[in-house]
Structure 1
């Protein structure tokens, strides 16, 4: 039976709500917990990789952060970094209770913003077996100037005006003011770097995910520049695989390479291509590197 047909809908508690997830039952005791970045929900974020991991015997738990996708939490489409990190902690606790999972053989996988979260979460979980950060956003301060240069002055003014209005409105209980998570240069969108618009082709080329809301509360523009999860790298004790793309214009390769050097047990795999290359032209190379890493660090042993 194909992996996408084996998976099961599950939910786990996080904070005052619950997160929706897919559980792909595994056969070897290892488990990979997966989530995507910014407004990317579990299906477009994980389907391509989750099926390959599951076919190799690993259980997979792919989830939506609260306020996104099928998870609970209101208001919707708001990125709150601490909340999302808490969702990862809750996912780890839940995965450890699954009958097909060895609690000592859990790995994390995230890309883009979630790839940055991996650094924070792994630093706080010494029991983790491994972690994979794919094209991670590790240093908003380093990335922000490049992202701003990719905007037209008018679009920049529009975004930050909307972001301030959104943040102030949130203080008095108004509904979030939404912007596209990605857009072409000149659009009022969260990200307009040259590779920002590769997302549809990479994550949903056939338009399968009709319910995927690709918007985000505009206030993220005020916060992303201060998010620097790569600073936690030195505290990560588990093996860490960092996938970077040399032509990445969205999170840039250099900050991730620099952060990886500070993690005691890190490996870096460099791919040719832009931010979404691991889903596109470099997919097989990315999958091969990640499966090799998982097999090495989630090595099969007797599990009952």
Structure 2
């Protein structure tokens, strides 16, 4: 599918970079657009092109794919370090991506959807609740409650360690020192990786390549715990919502996602797929995208 390198500015003048996908056959009229962003620490080269290509080859839609600020090809704010995730800023950047999409002559400004996975799945819930330019919300294995999610992932004796690391980092940054970092993934049972699971290690290490670095700021972990997108989920309505949940997801726990979905108002749809968190990139890919395409046909393409 045709792919164009693009760049756009955020409200605080950070340059975000990505790709704009269109169908093979040129359209004489502006097309609906799906804004696609990745999950925790991931970059666009980690299979987002695969999703966008599938959508644009299946239906008459364009896809805007980009890297979050401070990750991949995108810039970071001069006052902020790279590899730091502040959830509310990433959510705001989705809104700036929508604005960029609406500025394009080849985009139907009244037909904008947002697609997010894991952490950006949570962002899509938040943005869908407050930005009525959004006409469809697709969220895949989303983060819905960072505080409870973090507690589920943490080792039982890790709280004192992380509390000390958080405190030391804030003191150091206030003194003008560089932000402290920890690995995103790792297999050391005594380590301080953000995601200390074999599943996360294998997926991120395999797809990361030269575009991804196994590093995230300490502040990111504290910000993650304070992020609770499910507080917004009932306000997504009347915008249509599709939530895809994995049956055996322990990274973004299944029961948390289902409890959040129960709070959403109509119109809403739930897809439950077999397997674990990253299954949508592998054995469940076709099942996921085919359901998402059917949802798009009823919403953006109707």
TM-score (norm 1): 0.88
Partner of 1:196: 200
Q: Does 1:143 align with 2:149?
A: yes
Equivalence for 2:261: 260
- d(CA) in 1 for partners of 2:211 and 2:133? 36
Greater Cα offset, 172-181 or 159-168? 159-168
Residue 103 (1) aligns with residue 109 (2): yes
**Structure 2 residue 37 is the aligned partner of structure 1 residue 25:** no
Structure 2 equivalent of residue 279 of structure 1: 281
Classify the secondary structure of the residue corresponding to 1:23. strand
Aligned partner of residue 42 in structure 1, secondary structure: coil
* Paired position in structure 2 for 1:42: 44
8 Å contact 2:126–2:232 — kept in the other structure?
Answer: yes
Aligned residue for 2:6, secondary structure, equals: strand
Alpha-carbon shift at residue 214 of structure 1 (Å): 3.0
Give the distance between the partners of 2:13 and 2:165, measured in 1 at CA: 28
| Unaligned 5+ runs, structure 2 | none
Contact 1:166 1:177 in 2 (8 A): yes
The 1:235/1:60 distance shift into structure 2, 3 A limit, reads same
TM-score normalised by length of structure 2: 0.89
Q: Deviation at 1:224?
A: 1.9
Deviation at 1:167, TM superposition (A): 3.0
Contact 1:36 1:45 in 2 (8 A): no
User: Is the 2:181–2:218 contact (alpha carbons within 8 Å) kept by the matching residues of 1?
Assistant: yes
Instruction: Tell me, yes or no, if the aligned pair for 1:183 and 1:189 is still in contact at 8 Å.
Output: yes
**Aligned pairs, number:** 289
Query: SS at 1:276's partner residue?
Result: helix
1:123-175 Cα deviation digits (max 9, x unpaired): 11123220111000011122122111xx374x665554433333332223322
Unmatched tracts of structure 1, length 5 or more: none
**CA RMSD between the two structures:** 2.0
SS in 2 for 1:190: coil
Report the more deviating stretch, 20-29 or 78-87: 20-29
Runs of 4+ in 1 over 4 A off after TM superposition: 155-160
Q: Deviations over 1:10-43 (max 9, x none)?
A: 1111012111111113447111101111211122
| Alpha-carbon offset, residue 108 of structure 1 | 0.5
- 1:63 corresponds in structure 2 to 66
Which one of the candidate residues 2, 5, 9 is aligned to 1:9?
5
Q: Is the 8 A contact 2:87 2:223 kept in 1?
A: no
Distance 1:11 1:197 in 2: 30
Cα distance change on mapping 1:113 and 1:45 into 2, 3 Å: farther
